[in-house]
């Protein structure tokens, strides 16, 4: 397992400095969301030139950090046609960029059937799923042309909200360039946290062969008891459930990229050591 970190969770600094910090903290890979870590110059579509891609590739290589994920978490199910066209153009720009950066995957979540990108019951409908499949298909076809892996991340509040719907999308698109970012906590809701181990088993069973990388975090139930907060690993209520996930990684996904989420600069190293410690004991 190659543990990494979201670069925007490192203290605010130029990307060059963030990568240096990631290396010093013992991380092997990073999740990069361009607009969240680069303020000094443009990262608009037109700015994503081969020159910039190769510069970033050199930065990662010099710091001995893999670019695990190029994140572009935009709504591919928005009913706003102009916004959808803009989002799809952005995804295609990221595909070209990732191919030159040697990035592991271009990552995304799976959207909502509204312009606000928020949860509503209709997100979980068959209609929403077909909208997403229709809109993601040309993006995957472009990924194939670029030789890039496009990885979708199932999230309870979004359209691809569980392992079964993720499996359906993979089967309908039927492309080796469409794979999965496995974020166990993102599959959770207050309605299913007590059955989380069964849910994780289902995800591994249905999606395991197509999991390209893993996100690791923890959760806490909010005081109102109606929703969850995402927190750093070891600071929430996941408990022994990490063992199931890390055993899957250890036995079936050698050297997979696994990036920590929801860390802060003060607990990043502690969180890495916590997860690595469980992994090493298995």
- Residue-wise pLDDT for 188-205, tens only, equals 999 999 999 999 999 999
CATH code for the domain in which residue 20 is found = 3.20.20.150
Q: How far apart are CA 13 and CA 222, in angstroms?
A: 31
**56 is a domain residue:** yes
State the pLDDT confidence band at 128, using cuts at 50, 70 and 90. very high
What is the DSSP secondary structure assignment for residue 157, as one 8-state letter?
T
Separation CA 78–CA 235 (nearest Å): 34
* Cβ-Cβ contacts under 8 Å for 225 (sequence gap 6 or more): 190
3-state secondary structure of 177: coil
pLDDT at residue 239 in the model: 95
- Residue 147 has a pLDDT of 98
The token pair at 185 is: 């906590």
Is residue 235 in a domain?
Answer: no
In a domain, 221, yes or no: no
Q: How far apart are the first and last CA of the chain?
A: 13
What is the rounded average pLDDT of the residues 64-82? 98
What pLDDT does residue 127 have? 98
pLDDT tier at 114, thresholds 50, 70, 90: very high
Residues 6+ apart with CB under 8 A from 187: 154, 155, 156, 161, 162, 163, 196, 199, 200, 203
- 238 within a domain of the structure (yes/no): no
Q: What is the mean pLDDT of the chain?
A: 98
Q: Percentage of the chain surpassing pLDDT 90?
A: 100
In a domain, 125, yes or no: yes
Residues β-bridged to residue 229: 220
| Domain-embedded: residue 198 | yes
Tally of domains within the chain:
1
> Other C-beta atoms within 10 Å of 217: how many?
23
The band of 232, judged by pLDDT with boundaries at 50, 70 and 90, is very high
Q: Which of 218, 212, 199 is nearest to 261 (CA)?
A: 218
- Is 181 within the bounds of a domain? yes
Asked whether residue 269 is domain-assigned, the answer is no
**Mean per-residue pLDDT for 265-279?**
98
6 with 183: CB under 8 angstroms?
no
- 164 confidence band (pLDDT: 50, 70, 90): very high
Expressed as residue numbers, the domain containing 163 is: 12-215
pLDDT at residue 157 in the model: 97
Q: pLDDT-derived band of residue 238, with 50, 70 and 90 as boundaries?
A: very high
pLDDT of residue 38: 97
In the prediction, which pLDDT does 263 show? 98
> With pLDDT > 70 as the criterion, what percentage of the chain qualifies?
100
């Amino acid at each position: 397992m190659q543990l990494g970190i979201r670069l925007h969770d490192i203290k605010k600094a130029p990307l060059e400095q963030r990568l240096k910090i990631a290396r010093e903290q013992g991380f092997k890979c990073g999740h990069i969301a361009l607009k969240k870590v680069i303020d000094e110059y443009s990262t608009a579509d037109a700015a994503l030139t081969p020159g910039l891609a190769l510069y970033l590739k050199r930065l990662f290589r010099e710091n001995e950090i893999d670019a695990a994920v190029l994140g572009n978490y935009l709504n591919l199910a928005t009913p706003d046609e102009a916004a959808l066209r803009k989002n799809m153009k952005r995804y295609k720009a990221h595909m070209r960029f990732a191919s030159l950066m040697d990035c592991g995957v271009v990552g995304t979540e799976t959207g909502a059937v509204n312009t606000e990108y928020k949860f509503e019951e209709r997100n979980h409908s068959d209609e929403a799923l077909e909208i997403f499949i229709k809109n993601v298909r040309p993006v995957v076809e472009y990924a194939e042309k670029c030789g890039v892996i496009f990885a979708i991340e199932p999230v309870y509040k979004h359209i691809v909200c569980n392992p079964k719907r993720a499996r359906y999308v993979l089967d309908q698109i039927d492309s080796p360039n469409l794979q999965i970012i496995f974020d166990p906590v993102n599959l959770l809701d207050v309605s299913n946290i007590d059955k989380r181990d069964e849910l994780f088993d289902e995800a591994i069973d249905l999606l395991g062969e197509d999991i390209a990388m893993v996100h690791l975090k923890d959760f806490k139930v909010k005081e109102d008891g109606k929703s969850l907060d995402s927190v750093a690993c070891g600071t929430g209520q996941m408990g022994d459930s990490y063992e199931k996930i890390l055993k899957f990684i250890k036995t079936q996904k050698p050297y997979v990229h696994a990036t920590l989420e929801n860390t802060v600069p003060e607990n990043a190293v502690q969180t890495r050591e916590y997860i690595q410690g469980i992994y090493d004991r298995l």
